[in-house]
């Protein structure tokens, strides 16, 4: 990277924040640590950041609340939430508040670094998160976090197909259109049907709706 990405770490655990600061520093990040929610809010608002890593359990302002306040004030930098709890409801709550990603403690540092790299990748004009049924699709990460199905990992192809449908949730796509948009290298619309089948197997039948005689659209919420 040309210049060090500016990373704000909001973490009250002194041992963990020290460890992460050293690690991230070695990896080329310019790290600032805030020790509670108030301090985190202040630093996040007064300076420019490329990415924020926010612990959920913070004194002052709790992590999810902090993220929601930052989003409400127009802070757009991507946020990775650290959480000690691992339930679908917790993840959905964090993502709904405006975090892009979350990591459950204890985590592997390699995974943290990979998630940060993903968050720092230049963003396409298309939104990276799309509502899908009772959850959302994280396009870059090929993941769906869903109230019914939990966390589901998709293949790149599955994620691309679902993203095309989810970007225009009321539009019906013909199989030929989907073939062109997602499967440039495939010859027949059979590929579209196969991947619709894969998506339904992973996410439930209702994730993609069949419009008989026309094609497919995203399933209604």
The correct pick among 32, 57, 181, 217 for binding Ca ion (CB under 5 A) is 57
| Spatial separation of the C-alpha atoms in residues 168 and 130, rounded to whole Å | 10
Establish if 55 lies at the interface with Ca ion (CB under 5 A). yes
Please state the closest distance from residue 12 (CB atom) to Ca ion, in A: 5
Q: Which residue, 56 or 133, is less far from Ca ion as judged by CB?
A: 56
Sole window of 2-10, 12-20, 125-133, 160-168 interacting with Ca ion (rule: CB under 5 A) = 12-20
Local structure of residue 124 (DSSP, 8 states): P
Q: Which residues of 131-151 are buried (b: 16+ CB within 10 A; e: fewer)?
A: ebbebbbbbbbbbbbbeebee
Burial class (CB in 10 A: 0-12, 13-18, 19+), 84: exposed
Sole window of 10-18, 31-39, 122-130, 136-144 interacting with Ca ion (rule: CB under 5 A) = 10-18
Sole window of 47-55, 108-116, 135-143, 155-163 interacting with Ca ion (rule: CB under 5 A) = 47-55
Q: Are 81 and 103 in contact (CB under 8 A)?
A: yes
Count of residues making up the chain: 221
Please state the closest distance from residue 144 (CB atom) to Ca ion, in A: 28
Establish if 53 lies at the interface with Ca ion (CB under 5 A). no
Binding site for Ca ion (CB under 5 A): 12, 55, 57
């Amino acid at each position: 990277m040309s210049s060090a990405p500016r990373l704000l770490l909001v973490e009250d655990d002194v041992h963990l924040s020290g460890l992460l600061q050293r690690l991230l520093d070695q990896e080329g990040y310019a790290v600032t640590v805030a020790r509670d929610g108030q301090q985190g809010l202040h630093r996040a608002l007064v300076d420019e950041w490329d990415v924020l890593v926010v612990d959920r359990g913070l004194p002052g302002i709790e992590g999810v609340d902090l993220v929601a306040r930052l989003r409400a004030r127009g802070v757009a930098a991507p946020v990775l939430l650290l959480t000690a709890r691992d339930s679908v409801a917790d993840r959905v709550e964090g993502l709904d508040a405006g975090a892009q990603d979350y990591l459950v403690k204890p985590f592997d540092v390699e995974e943290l670094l990979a998630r940060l790299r993903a968050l720092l990748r230049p963003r396409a004009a298309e939104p990276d998160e799309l509502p899908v049924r009772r959850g959302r699709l994280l396009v870059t990460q090929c993941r769906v976090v869903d109230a019914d199905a939990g966390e589901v990992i998709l293949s790149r192809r599955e994620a691309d197909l679902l993203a095309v449908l989810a970007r225009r949730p009321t539009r019906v796509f013909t199989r030929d259109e989907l073939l062109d948009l997602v499967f440039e290298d495939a010859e027949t619309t059979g590929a579209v049907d196969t991947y619709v089948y894969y998506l339904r197997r992973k996410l439930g039948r209702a994730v993609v709706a069949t419009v008989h005689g026309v094609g497919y659209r995203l399933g209604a919420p």
